[in-house]
Amino acid sequence: MVEWRRYLHQHPELSFQEYNTSRFVAETLRNLGMDVRTGVGGHGVVGILKGSLEGPVVALRADIDALPIQDEKECGYASKTEGVMHACGHDGHTATLLGVASYFSERRSLLRGEIRFLFQPAEEVIPGGAIRMIGDGALDGVDVIYGVHLWTPLEAGKVSSAPGPMMASVDDFVIDVIGKGGHGGLPHDTVDSVVVGASIVLHLQTVVSRSVDPLQPAVVSVGSIQAGTTQNVIADRCRLKGTVRTFDEHTRTLIRDRIEATVRNSCAMYGAEAEIQYLEGYPTLVNDERETERFFRVATALFGEAKVERCRPVMPAEDFAYYLQRVPGCFLFVGAGNERDGIVHPHHHPRFDIDEASMMNAAKVMIRMAVDYALDGK
């Protein structure tokens, strides 16, 4: 798994561009004697392993895409692709699931039912790869699904999950403010799109604090503001990009309505216009209660009660949520941080890394959950 992970880390590919990663996964699965489908949901790969005994169909999922981030680590396996990096652990997810596939392929005579290995593209970019893989039949006949995220905020050796809502929904927006450009010394002849954009940024910070129920978690963040070319020219256009995170569909709709009203009213106040693109993304990730109970039971037996935690809901989003809308399952975090070894950087950071021992823990818990479900007779 370490060898696979380091190869993938050196050769990352962006969402919807996972050509070589997909090929590598498919070849590895074929070498394990599996039936393999490629081109699922784009560059997705599905490996199918049928046991000799009757039983359920258990799906296990890993995501395979990387991020547009320059790798700043100083190590032998740093990314060789300029401006692209596995900064979220998907290389470790892929290597782990290949390890699990190897384990089961050597024990197919003892296997009950079918294990279906889903290697999913494009988790990082809305609309994501999960919904497309589902559309191409990746979940057809599946009884249950499990997924793992190697998680550096959690210490290596620990695992965590939670029943019900665990990860937020995500929506993205792009706001184009259209003003009237002109000379920086003659502002009265212009409609300053930068001033309007700055006003919108400030007003959007009141959407959560003054429009959302304080007991409902929500985030509105403007991550980018772009306008102008030089110091003495008033820009005619200003573009804002942001994201919205919620756990409640009513709150999700409310925030969208408030953002659109805030933008249009702010522009009207200054005599500007606005174009709004609002992209509805992944839904809230909701774990099945029964399958989460299975996780806690299996993980406690594997690692001991002190290493198994019930996590608080987190605002990052995951398109694994689409799978859970269709079949029961559980998504979980496996600790991958290690302060002693300097593995402390957050996900999406240019110096991100994982404690590679976490892959063995992830493999163990996925194997045990799949076997436990099959033995349960479900």
Taking alpha carbons only, the member of 144, 6, 118 closest to residue 62 is 118
Judge if 174 and 225 occupy the same domain: yes
Cα 261 off chain centre by: 29
Are residues 121 and 42 in contact, defined by beta-carbon separation less than 8 angstroms? yes
Locate all alpha helices (DSSP H) within the chain, ordered by sequence: 2-10, 19-31, 90-105, 130-135, 193-211, 249-270, 289-303, 320-326, 358-375
Beta pairing partners, 286: 165
Please check whether residues 103 and 201 belong to one and the same domain. no
Question: What is the residue range of 52's domain?
Answer: 2-165+284-375
Length of the chain: 378
Beta bridge partners of 285: 167
| CA 290 from centroid of its chain's CA atoms | 23
Alpha-carbon distances of 71 from 67, 68, 351, 376, rounded to whole Å: 10, 9, 6, 44
Q: Are 159 and 300 in contact (CB under 8 A)?
A: no
Q: Is 303 found in the same domain as 184?
A: no
Interatomic CA distance for residues 172 and 274, integer angstroms? 16
Burial of residue 65, with CB atoms counted within 10 A of its CB: 0-12 exposed, 13-18 middle, 19 or more buried = buried
DSSP β-ladder status, 218-227 and 182-183: unpaired
Asked whether 124 and 282 are in contact (CB, 8 A), the reply is: no
Q: Which residue in this structure is represented by tokens 């110096």?
A: 351
Does the structure show a pLDDT above 60 at 360?
A: yes
Q: Please give the share of the chain, as a percent, with pLDDT higher than 90.
A: 98
Question: What's the rounded mean pLDDT across residues 205-223?
Answer: 97
Quick one: what percent of the chain has pLDDT higher than 70? Answer: 99
Say whether both 33 and 47 belong to one domain. Answer: yes
Q: How far, rounded to the nearest angstrom, does the alpha carbon of residue 350 sit from its chain's CA centroid?
A: 17
Q: Is 174 found in the same domain as 33?
A: no
Q: How many other CB atoms sit within 10 Å of the CB of residue 155?
A: 17
The answer on 179 and 147 residing in a single domain is no
Q: What confidence tens digit (pLDDT) does each residue in 276-324 have?
A: 999 999 999 999 999 999 999 999 999 999 999 999 999 999 999 999 9
Q: What is the pLDDT of residue 102?
A: 98
Residue 378 confidence (pLDDT) above 60: no
**Residue 153 and residue 26 share a domain:** yes
* Predicted model pTM: 0.93
Helix axes 2-10, 19-31, angle to 10 degrees: 160
What positions carry a catalytic annotation? Answer: 65, 123
Query: ∠ at Cα 291 (288, 293), nearest 5°?
Result: 110
Is the Cβ–Cβ distance between 328 and 67 less than 8 Å?
no
**Structural domains counted in the chain:** 2
CA dihedral for 89, 91, 94, 95, sign (positive or negative): negative
Residues 12 and 86 in one domain: yes
Residues 123 and 15 in one domain: yes
Distance CA 243, CA 245 (A): 7
Residue 265 and residue 316 in one domain: no
What CATH number corresponds to the domain at position 259? Answer: 3.30.70.360
Q: Which of 280, 299, 330 is the last residue of a domain?
A: 280
Half-sphere exposure for 91 (CA within 13 Å, toward CB): 30
Residue 33 pLDDT more than 60?
yes
CA separation for the pair 132, 112 (Å, rounded): 28
| pLDDT of 194 | 98
Q: Which two tokens stand for residue 63?
A: 């995501």
- Regarding whether 298 and 229 lie in a shared domain, the answer is no
Q: Which residues have C-beta within 8 Å of that of residue 31, sequence separation ≥ 6?
A: none
Name which of 24, 66, 14 is nearest 45 in CA terms. Answer: 24
The answer to whether residues 118 and 62 touch, using CB atoms and an 8 Å cutoff, is yes
pLDDT confidence bin for 376, thresholds 50/70/90:
confident
CATH, residue 75: 3.40.630.10
Of 253, 280, 307, which residue sits at a domain end? Answer: 280
Q: Identify whether the C-beta of residue 23 lies closer than 8 Å to the C-beta of residue 105.
A: no
pLDDT at res. 377: 58
If you average pLDDT over residues 247-269, what whole number do you get? 97
**Which of these three, 264, 280, 296, is where a domain ends?**
280
Report the pLDDT averaged over residues 43-69. Answer: 96
- Given pLDDT bands bounded at 50, 70 and 90, which one contains residue 81? very high
Q: What is the pLDDT of residues 147-176, one digit of tens each?
A: 999 999 999 999 999 999 999 999 999 999
3-state secondary structure of 266: helix
- Residues 360, 300 share a domain: yes
